[in-house]
């Protein structure tokens, strides 16, 4: 059974989240603040964290940053009343995997938890399968039947990121920050060049396509289940 930590300082919200997530078959642990969450993480294996941002002693941003600074890749889902784009951007920059604004839809919450757990399994195995296509993170290769291509590092990381989150729109800034680093002077031109190279490489692969979202960024559309 997957173990999920809910870090939420509002008692009623925490109890509701425990009921929703627990009823779906998960083992739920509650923490009323970031300090308590760290204590639980120290002594208990946790598969995923659902956390609020506005908590006493150690808020959600600080908690996520500490977890990522410790090189812990545990999936993190921020569920918060902070709805401004600057808050969401800060959440992703400190290392959250997903972000939801309260009040949340129960079914959507469970679907996002399920998706994050699936992606964590992909990260652990370091291989991603899309139909007949396999991306091998360790060898930087993309294979389909007998066609095996070794990609330049940045191209591979970019494709792996997009394919790990099908239909999710990534802004150009998000992709540049993650693939090239926040301190890089990478421009839109560099990103566009890499995307165009990937499109040409895999133009004959029917399993997926990279779609540009005008004025925003890119996403991958899967054509297989």
pLDDT value for 135: 94
Exposure letters 104-123 (e unless 16+ CB within 10 A, then b): beeeebbebbebbeebbebb
Determine which helix (DSSP H) or strand (DSSP E) holds 39, and give its type and residue range. helix 34-43
Contacts of 134 (CB under 8 A, 6+ apart): 127, 128, 142, 143, 144
Rg (CA), the chain: 19
pLDDT value for 73: 84
Q: Is 18 helix (H, G, I), strand (E, B) or coil?
A: helix
**Residue 129 tokens, joined:** 């399968």
Per-residue pLDDT of the chain (225 residues; tens, 9 = 90+): 688 999 999 999 999 999 999 999 898 999 999 999 999 998 888 889 999 999 998 999 999 999 998 878 899 999 988 888 888 899 999 999 999 998 889 999 999 998 888 877 766 667 888 999 999 988 999 999 999 999 999 999 999 989 988 888 999 988 888 788 766 777 789 999 999 999 999 999 999 999 999 989 999 999 887
Q: How far is CA 112 from CA 56, 76, 168, 190, 202, in A?
A: 26, 11, 12, 31, 29
Mind spelling out the 3-state secondary structure of 101-144? Answer: ECCCCHHHHHHHHHHHHHHHHHHHHCEEEECCEEEECCCCEEEE
pLDDT value for 15: 94
Q: What are the start and end residues of each CATH 3.40.50.2300 domain in the chain?
A: 3-123
Q: Would you say the pTM of this structure is higher than 0.75?
A: no
List the beta bridge partners of residue 171: 217
Q: Is 53 helix (H, G, I), strand (E, B) or coil?
A: coil
Q: What are the start and end residues of each CATH 1.10.10.10 domain in the chain?
A: 126-222
Of the candidate CATH numbers 3.40.50.1820, 3.40.190.170, 3.30.70.890, 3.40.50.2300, the domain formed by 3-123 belongs to 3.40.50.2300
The residue written with tokens 């808050």 in the block is: 87
Nearest one of 206, 221, 51, 224 to 130, comparing CA atoms: 224
Of the candidate CATH numbers 1.10.10.10, 1.20.120.530, 1.10.510.10, 1.20.58.220, the domain formed by 126-222 belongs to 1.10.10.10
> Contact, 99 vs 78, CB < 8 A?
yes
pLDDT value for 124: 64
């Amino acid at each position: 059974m997957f173990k999920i930590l809910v870090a939420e300082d509002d008692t009623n919200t925490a109890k509701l989240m425990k009921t929703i997530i627990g009823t779906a078959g998960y083992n739920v642990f509650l923490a009323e603040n970031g300090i308590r969450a760290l204590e639980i993480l120290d002594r208990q294996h946790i598969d995923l964290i659902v956390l609020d941002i506005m908590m006493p002693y150690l808020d959600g941003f600080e908690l996520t940053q500490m977890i990522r600074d410790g090189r812990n890749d545990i999936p993190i889902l921020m569920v918060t009343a902070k709805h401004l784009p600057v808050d969401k951007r800060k959440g992703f920059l400190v290392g959250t995997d997903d972000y939801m604004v309260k009040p949340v839809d129960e079914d959507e919450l469970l679907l996002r938890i399920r998706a994050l757990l699936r992606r964590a399994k992909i990260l652990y195995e370091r291989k991603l399968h899309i139909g007949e296509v396999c991306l091998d993170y360790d060898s930087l290769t993309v294979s389909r039947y007998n066609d095996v291509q070794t990609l330049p590092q940045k191209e591979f990381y970019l494709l792996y990121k997009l394919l790990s989150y099908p239909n999710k729109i990534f802004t150009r800034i998000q992709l540049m920050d993650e693939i090239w680093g926040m301190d890089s002077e990478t421009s839109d031109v560099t990103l566009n060049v890499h995307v165009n190279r990937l499109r040409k490489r895999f133009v004959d692969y029917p399993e997926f396509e990279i779609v540009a979202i005008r004025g925003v960024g890119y996403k991958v559309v899967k054509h297989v289940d």
